[in-house]
Homo-oligomer: A and B are copies of this chain.
Amino acid sequence: MRADARRNYDRIVEVAREVFREQGYDASLDEIAKRAGVGPGTLYRHFPKRENLLDAVMQSWVDRVNEAVAKALTHEGSDRELLLGWFEEYVRLISVHRGAPAKITSAMGDPDSPIMTKCQVLARANDRVIEHLREDGAIRDGVETLQVCRLVGGVATVADQGDLDPDAVRPMLAVVADGLLR
């Protein structure tokens, strides 16, 4: 990759992260290009689909997911607290900007999605938490971890789209947790 291309690529991603946060995932791509000081053609060559841009924007996000799961697993306290704490973190993690929870959660099952690798990181993080609790015999039989991602993702999605504040989200996550725990 040529040096000028790399420069533009990085700049676009940086600007996109900012604009997505300001205006949500529906933001105009041409405006992102403009703000990044490049033509639309340049943006679309690097990122043929909107989701490719999202994927690039989420690159740095992977580290935060791994940190969060590590922290969750060292939690001292009841299983319920651990699970609930992780769910809250999960919601926070996927709520990078307006529209993100829906996008991420619906890509969760799709192997062809451009953001697949990011979803896998998240799914694996969630797996570790659930399996950790399952070893304690704390999880009901027949629970699949992908379901858990979808359930919590669903809560994050409605919170995002109805812009609820975190105080309204917590009790919903508690219901999900209670439904999973023995």
Residues of A within 8 A of B (CB): 102, 105-110, 140, 142-144, 147, 150-151, 153-155, 157-158, 161-162, 164, 168, 171-172, 174-180
- A179 in complex: contacting residue of B102, B107, B175, CB < 8 Å: B175
- Contact, CB under 8 Å: B157 / A157: yes
Residues of B within 8 A of A158 (CB): 105-106, 150-151, 153-154, 157
Chain B contacts for A155, CB-based, 8 A: 150-151, 154
8 shortest interchain CB distances as A-B pairs: A179-B179, A154-B154, A175-B179, A106-B161, A178-B179, A106-B162, A154-B158, A150-B158
Total copies of this chain within the assembly: 2
Bound-state Cα–Cα, A154 to B173, Å: 12
Complex-state Cα separation, A157 to B103, whole angstroms: 11
Q: With A and B bound together, what is the CA distance between A161 and B103 in angstroms?
A: 9
For A161, the closest partner residue in chain B by CB is: B106
Q: How far is the CA of A167 from the CA of B142 in the complex (A)?
A: 14
Q: List 14 A-B contacts (CB under 8 A).
A: A105-B162, A106-B161, A106-B162, A108-B162, A147-B168, A147-B175, A150-B162, A151-B154, A154-B154, A175-B176, A176-B179, A177-B179, A178-B179, A179-B179
